[in-house]
Amino acid sequence: MVFNGWSVPAPASGSIVGLPGYDIAVVSEYDDFTLPPVGNYVEVVVLAWSLGVHAAELALRETTLPLTLTIAVNGTPSPISDTEGIPESIFRLTAERLTEQSLVKFRRRMGASDMPRGSRTIEALRRELLNFPSEKVEFRWDRAVISTDDKIFPPENQRRAWTGRAEITEIEGSHTPDFHSIIDGFLINKERVGSRFARGRDTYDEAASVQARVADHLMELWLKHKRGEIGGATILEIGVGSGMFTALYKSKLKPSELILWDISPTESKFGPICEADGETAIRQIASGTMSVVASASTIQWFNSPAAFLIQVERVLAPEGLAVLSTFGPETFRELTACGVTPLPYLSIESWRRIVPAGFEILELHGGKMVKVFDSPMDALRHCRATGVNGRPSTVSVREIERRWERRPDGRVSLTFEPIYIILRKKAD
């Protein structure tokens, strides 16, 4: 769901580039903030630009839509503000002195001089600005993208507005950015992820030595913090994969009920595995019914870890545990240096910021693991064998081979930054 900026006409049908697995709806013209029925979707991603950021907050503040990823681009929750938005005097003068000539000048400052004019009158555009609401609205934003040469929303005001509230990414360019690169950088193509993990299923256990070590340490932390016997507990595991983590906790804890999910399930000796995208399917679980929600090396593939944690808190019973591992931004830094777009990993500090208040943080720490390969091709084969290369890349294999930094012995490194998270839901 794309919320347009002010004065930007709705695109013509057929001009919107499709995304695999997603429909696209565009919202424009902010005289009214009531959305029409959207449809029966399992996931809704929000990309809001400029004044569309606050418009999205107003339109969605009481929504029941299943929102996951929310991205604000070159806009803030305080659009008319001397410190966190467009300075008030500039905003008012833009509206009061609006003419066809000044609109052309405004478009030029946006970096969008070739944008279609649209059919709205100058008076309608002026009225929209003068009546635009500015009250604060409670809304969860995952990411804020700031263009360093934005001449509409001053970048320093954007930084001030978003620090401590959302994950900030700065890009070069004007107020009108390359939206396709933003979408490619932050939105997960879950169909591709499922197919890549399915392709690597037969080689996963043999190749996934890092994931095995992560699972071992996560199991140690779980045992450290469990209270009493786990027998009688209901465990939901998301991202079962080959059952590497399942085998560890099932033999040690012997839960009475296992609910197993995977985006690309296979036969399992631990019981049936439901084909499910854990990020969206968890909304179907009744509140307060799970003893443990567990997931090893999976949630880095979710669009919005923050929205997921809110759901985990909801489905857990009081004093229930979230037992999770993921990866941080140092992961695959060698591939990133070669020009490959990384996953939008969160740092430990960012994870700490998004943990809901209803949780007690028992563990939140990271580590570093480095695998060494004889060549870049061997490292890439390892990624393929474990299915962890579910991201698109515009960089050729030949270019990756050329740019990959060599160690003194001529070999290459591949870095992993595992993050371990143990949370206990506070008692009512």
pLDDT in tens, 175-190: 999 988 898 889 988 8
Structure tokens at 19: 């995304």
Pairing of strands 290-295, 234-238: parallel
pLDDT in tens, 120-157: 999 999 999 999 998 899 999 999 999 999 999 999 99
Q: Quickly state the pLDDT bin for 78 (edges 50, 70, 90).
A: very high
- Torsion sign, CA atoms 415, 165, 64, 27: negative
Domains of the chain from N-terminus onward:
2-186 (3.40.50), 190-425 (3.40.50.150)
Q: Quickly state the pLDDT bin for 408 (edges 50, 70, 90).
A: very high
Q: What's residue 201's pLDDT?
A: 67
End-to-end CA distance of the chain: 36
Which is nearest to 301 in space by CA: 363, 391, 184? 391
Q: What's residue 251's pLDDT?
A: 87
Crossing angle of helices 88-96 and 122-130, in 10° steps, is: 150
Q: What's residue 12's pLDDT?
A: 57
Q: Quickly state the pLDDT bin for 199 (edges 50, 70, 90).
A: confident
d(CA 420, CA 218): 7
Q: What's residue 20's pLDDT?
A: 78
Instruction: Give the residues across from 325 on adjacent strands.
Output: 420
Q: What's residue 46's pLDDT?
A: 97
Instruction: Give the residues across from 128 on adjacent strands.
Output: none
Q: Are 350 and 167 in contact (CB under 8 A)?
A: yes
pLDDT in tens, 85-126: 999 999 999 999 999 999 999 999 999 888 888 889 999 999
Q: Where are the alpha helices (DSSP H) in 164-294?
A: 179-186, 190-199, 201-207, 209-225, 244-253, 278-281
Q: Quickly state the pLDDT bin for 18 (edges 50, 70, 90).
A: low
d(CA 238, CA 290): 13
Least confident of 143-152, 166-175, 235-244, 380-389: 380-389
Is residue 15 over pLDDT 60?
no
Q: Which residues contact 318 (CB under 8 A, 6 or more apart)?
A: 288, 425, 426, 427, 428
Is residue 196 over pLDDT 90?
no
d(CA 16, CA 10): 10
Q: Which residues contact 89 (CB under 8 A, 6 or more apart)?
A: none
d(CA 187, CA 303): 6
Q: Which residues contact 279 (CB under 8 A, 6 or more apart)?
A: 43, 68, 299, 302, 303, 304, 307, 308
User: Can you give the pTM of this predicted structure?
Assistant: 0.93
- Edge-first strand order for the sheet with 44-49 is 26-27, 2-3, 44-49, 67-73, 143-147, 167-171
Q: What's residue 268's pLDDT?
A: 83
Structure tokens at 212: 């095995």
AA identity, residue 137: V
* Percent with pLDDT over 70 in the chain: 95
d(CA 79, CA 81): 6
Q: Quickly state the pLDDT bin for 265 (edges 50, 70, 90).
A: confident
> Please, what is the Cα angle at 224 between 218 and 227, to 5 degrees?
120
Is residue 287 over pLDDT 60?
yes
Least confident of 7-11, 47-51, 99-103, 356-360: 7-11
Is residue 13 over pLDDT 60?
no
Give 3-state DSSP helix, strand, coil % of the chain, rounded to 5: 35, 20, 45
Q: Is 127 exposed, middle or buried (0-12, 13-18, 19+ CB in 10 A)?
A: middle
Average pLDDT, the chain: 92
Q: What's residue 77's pLDDT?
A: 97
d(CA 127, CA 116): 20
d(CA 284, CA 295): 17
Q: Quickly state the pLDDT bin for 231 (edges 50, 70, 90).
A: low
Q: Which helix (H) or strand (E) holds 345?
A: none
Q: Quickly state the pLDDT bin for 200 (edges 50, 70, 90).
A: low
